[in-house]
Structure 1
Amino acid sequence: MKKHLLLLVLLTLTISTHAERQQPELSHELTKVSKVIAASDFELQNMDEENIKFSDYRGKVVLLNFWATWCPPCVREIPSMERLQQKFAKDNFKVIALNQTEDPDKVFAFTGQLELDPTFEIIFDRESTVAQAYAVRGLPTTYLVDKKGNIRYRAVGGREFDHPEVLKIIRQLIAE
C-alpha cells in the first residue's frame, strides 16, 4: 500500500513538473497601438466591495489587465504584475486587474493561495461589459493607458511585466 501511494505521489509530481515545463515562456512584448484610443470609463467593485471608477486614475499610467483564475497564463503573470506595482508604488502608476465573470469569494480564496497577497487593485467585471467595451477577445489581455487616459500599448497573452523593456516603456509614459 505504501509503495503504491509513494508511486502515485511521484507520478503526480512528475506530471505536474512536466506540465509546468511545457508552458511557453511569457513574452515581454507590448504592441504599440497605431492610433491612440481613449480608454472607456467604467465603475466596478473591488475585493472590498468599494466602487472603483477608472477615470479616478487619470494622471496615472495604468496597466489594465483582464484575467481569470482558470487561465494559466493569467495566473503566471500575476507575480510580475505585483513586482511592477511594488516597483512603481511611489510613482504615478497603478496596476488594475479586472477579473472576468468569477465570483468574488472564489477570487478571494484564490488570492489567499498565492505566494504573495497582491497589492494591486482587483476589480470584478462580472458580466464582462468592460471587456466587451475594450474588445477583449482572449485572456489575458492587457492595456497600458497613459496619464491622459489613452490606450498606448496592448498585449494579448501572458507577459513578464517587469521585464526591462516593459519597465522602459512605463518610465517613458510616466515621464510624459
Structure 2
Amino acid sequence: MKASTWVIALCLGLGMLMSASAMAEVSGTAPDFTLKSRSGDNLRLEDLRGEVIMLNFWASWCGPCRQEMPHMDAIEEEFRDYGFRVLAVNVDQHRDDAERFLDSVPVDFAILWDHDSTVSERYDVQAMPTTVMIDRNGEARYIHHGYQPGYEDDYRAQIRELIRE
C-alpha cells in the first residue's frame, strides 16, 4: 500500500471513530507562525490578536475536510463583524492538489500554505481536520480532532462564548 493511500485510509478510519468526545478544552498560548496565504501575502497569527480565530488544519485528500469547509465559510460570514476569522492551513506537499480541492469547494476565508508541516507539527496535529479555537488574547481554548456533521453547532457555541469575553 502506498504511503499516501495508507494516510487516507487512516484519516477516514479516524473520522469514523470520532465522536462528540473528539473536542477538548485546552489552555496555553497558541504558537505564533507566519505563513504565505493563497492571496500571496504573508499572514502572522500574532498580528490578529484581538480577534477570535478558528485555526483549521486540512488536506485535499481528507473527506471530512470537504464536508466541513462550507460550514466554516458560513460561520466566518456569520461572525466576521464580531471580530472573528477562519484561518485554514493546508498541509498538502503540492499546492496544486489543494488548488484543485478549492476549485471544487470554493471558500472566502484565508487559506494558508504549510507544505513542510512546520506549523502543523507545532500544533501537534494528529488527525485531519484539526480545528483550534483561539481567543482574543491568543490563548488556545478548544481543539477538535476530525469532523462529523453537527460539529459546526459546537463551533458556533464556542465562538459565541469567545466573542463575548
Note whether the superposition's TM-score is higher than 0.5.
Answer: yes
| 1:60 is the counterpart of 2:51 | yes
The corresponding residue for 1:142 is 131
Q: Could you tell me how far 1:119 is from its partner in structure 2?
A: 0.9
Show CA shifts across 1:83-132 (max 9, x none): 11111121110011100033233322321122xx2111110001000011
Say what the alpha-carbon RMSD is for the aligned residues. Answer: 2.0
Q: Could you tell me how far 1:74 is from its partner in structure 2?
A: 1.2
- Amino acid aligned to 1:86: E
Report runs of 4+ in structure 1 exceeding 6 Å deviation.
none
The corresponding residue for 1:133 is 122
The corresponding residue for 1:162 is 152
**Structure 1 segment 13-162 matched on structure 2, within 5 A:** 30-33=23-26, 36-114=27-105, 117-159=106-148, 160-162=150-152
The corresponding residue for 1:18 is none
Q: Could you tell me how far 1:161 is from its partner in structure 2?
A: 4.7
Q: Could you tell me how far 1:168 is from its partner in structure 2?
A: 2.1
Q: Is the 8 A contact 1:141 1:156 kept in 2?
A: yes
Higher helix share: 2
Q: Is the 8 A contact 1:81 1:161 kept in 2?
A: no
Cα distance between partner residues in 2 of 1:166 and 1:138: 17
- Amino acid aligned to 2:116: E
Segments of structure 1 that go 5 or more residues without pairing to the other structure are 1-22
- TM-score normalized by the length of structure 1: 0.77
Percent identity reads: 34
